[in-house]
Amino acid sequence: MARDYTTLSLADVGAEFSAVARDTQSVFGLLDREQLNWRPAATSWSVAQCFDHLLNANREMFQAIDAATDDACRPTVWQRLPVLPRVFGWMLIRLQMPEAKRKFTAPRKADPASSAIDQRIIERFVAYQHEAAARVRSLAGHDVARIIMVSPFASFVTYSVLDGCRLIVTHERRHFEQARRVTQVPGFPSSPLPGMRT
């Protein structure tokens, strides 16, 4: 049964960051540089690009969360509208769920590198997950369901900080599954022999 990411609590989001870290290490942690950078087609992303994209997108999202929770920042007109944030938040989370079929073009700020990506991308992503879990725990003193943030990718799109956190982990699961599918495509490089890791 598909998980309903629209109902995750802040604690659930923190736990999901940790779960994604464990799953990423388990599924992709032993892939070598060739495997991480292999692409099924010229227009498809590699495993490494999926995780590079997530690191870029998450950086932008957490900067927007920081701005929304900074008491010194004045709310924008879009943040003061009462209904739109609830609609946008729910809709975007549903659209990003792993089983959703619709494809999207990544915003330029979140584009992955087009050249070969360092083999340590998985290590960096896993470390970032632990940092993200800690950042989410630090939000516990805020009313994250009522604080409205502006999307870092479209200035007219707003949603609650809680929905922003939900959106991050939903988006991560979507691209985790995309990366897993890459490893299942015929032609994916086989694992090197023990002692031959590149």
What are the C-alpha distances in Å from 141 to residues 7, 69, 77?
19, 11, 25
Tokens representing 64 are 């927007």
In angstroms, rounded to a whole number, what is the distance separating the alpha carbons of residues 67 and 78? Answer: 14
Residue with tokens 């989410």: 136
Cα 68–chain centre separation: 19
Range of the domain at 66: 5-183
Q: Is 139 helix (H, G, I), strand (E, B) or coil?
A: helix
pLDDT, tens digit (0-9, with 9 covering 90-100), for 78-95: 555 555 666 677 778 888
What's the pLDDT at 2? 74
Q: How far is C-alpha 65 from the geometric centre of its chain's CA atoms? A: 14
Rounded distance between C-alpha atoms, residue 95 and residue 171, angstroms: 9
- Domain tally, the chain: 1
**Residue 197 maps to a domain:** no
Give phi and psi for 149, each to the nearest 5: -115, 160
Q: What is the CATH number of the domain that holds 47?
A: 1.20.120.450
Whole-prediction pTM value? Answer: 0.88
**Quick one: pLDDT at residue 108?**
86
Tell whether 167 is covered by a domain: yes
CB of 147 closer than 8 Å to CB of 160: yes
In a domain, 188, yes or no: no
The predicted pLDDT at position 198 comes to 42
Q: State the pLDDT at residue 165.
A: 97
CA distance 148 to 163: 9
> Is 190 part of any domain?
no
Question: Is 70 a domain residue?
Answer: yes
Picking from 73, 53, 54, the residue whose alpha carbon sits closest to that of residue 65 is 73
28 found inside a domain: yes
194: in domain: no
Query: Which residues of the chain fall short of a pLDDT of 70?
Result: 1, 73-87, 192-198
195 lies in a domain? Answer: no
